[in-house]
Chain A
Amino acid sequence: MPASVKLQELYGDDVQVIFIECQNTDKNTYEAFAWKMKWMGNNALWTNERVIPTVGDGLPEVAVIGVDGTVLLQGYPGDFGKKLEETVAAEVKKSKEAPEGTPASLKKAWTTFAKGDVSGALAEADKVGGDEGSAARAVFVRRVEARLARAKRMLEMGDVAEAEAAVAALQKSCKGAADLLAQVTELSTRIASPELAAERDAAKAWSSFSSKVAKEKPFDEGNVKKAQGIADKHKGTKNGARAARFVELSKINLNR
């Protein structure tokens, strides 16, 4: 568990760690537990839905899914030694390169895309042309549209700063790709709208508080009071609700 937290914190957005609670503990209790253990404050996701089935008889169990969506290893973490970290490092490297089996003519398009230059990647794919070039272009467009869809969901979930950052990155990378840029600009305008001002303020307050207390003693009386203050000040926003939830989580008796 702490090893996966460290992996998430080491690689940031290059890796996605998903913690799956497998003992039917209710969501509030396992979230409170994760806060108490100082495992929060990073990009890891927490769920009790099994993305893939477990293969062993007990816990903990770990799995690595590669950049092509294949399960590369799975089992008791202690059995893997350094192999786990090495596999993750190799996959992070792969994520910045052209996928295996990419024709030599399209490698430049893929490396350009991996560097975040979508317009450049599309131009390279168009230069190659034919079925291969068109297929690569279609993949790039699909991936950008998926990122846009995710940014929209971030906004719906109240993650305003994250949506803003994702859209800013897309705006930079899609310069010159008119169709995609139009969609990005539309979302950017929505983010900047006055209706989102209250949520933006609340997100700033919650994000600053939660990242600060995650590695301290999150549920200390002083921190809970601060969370209550954020909840009161930003009532009616999603981030205000997050602060209120934090206060409720702090009341859960984890020794039951």
Chain B
Amino acid sequence: MRTSLHCTALAALALVGVAWLSSGAPAGSAGVDFTFREAPLNARGVMGMRDLLGKPIVIDFWGKN
């Protein structure tokens, strides 16, 4: 029972880790990597951060409302 709880906890931690990695990395960490699931508007061939390697990127989080 205890082993099974440990396994569940480890699996949950792994899932959190995967979610964190797939959503990018926080400030201070090197090498933000991200692939868009759907091409952004005005993509002009950009499907992920690798396409922008060596170029400064400004991200503007906004809301229509």
Residues of A at the B interface (CB closer than 8 Å) are: 1, 4, 7-8, 14-23, 25, 27, 29-31, 33, 40, 43-47, 49-55, 59-74, 88, 91-92, 94-95, 143, 146, 149-154, 157, 159, 162-163, 166
CA distance A194 to B31 in the complex (A): 41
CA distance A196 to B42 in the complex (A): 20
How many residues of B are counted as interface, with CB atoms below 8 angstroms from the partner's CB atoms?
Answer: 42
Main secondary structure of the interface of B (DSSP, over half): loop
Contact of A68 among B30, B36, B39, B40 (CB under 8 A): B30
User: Is B42's CB under 8 angstroms from A21's CB?
Assistant: no
- Using CB atoms, name the residue of chain B closest to A1: B62
Residues of B within 8 A of A61 (CB): 60-61
CA distance A64 to B61 in the complex (A): 11
CA distance A92 to B64 in the complex (A): 29
Residues of B at the A interface (CB closer than 8 Å) are: 20, 23-34, 36-47, 49-65
Seed contacts A20-B59, A45-B43, A95-B56; 5 additional CB < 8 Å A-B pairs: A52-B24, A65-B56, A65-B59, A88-B58, A166-B45
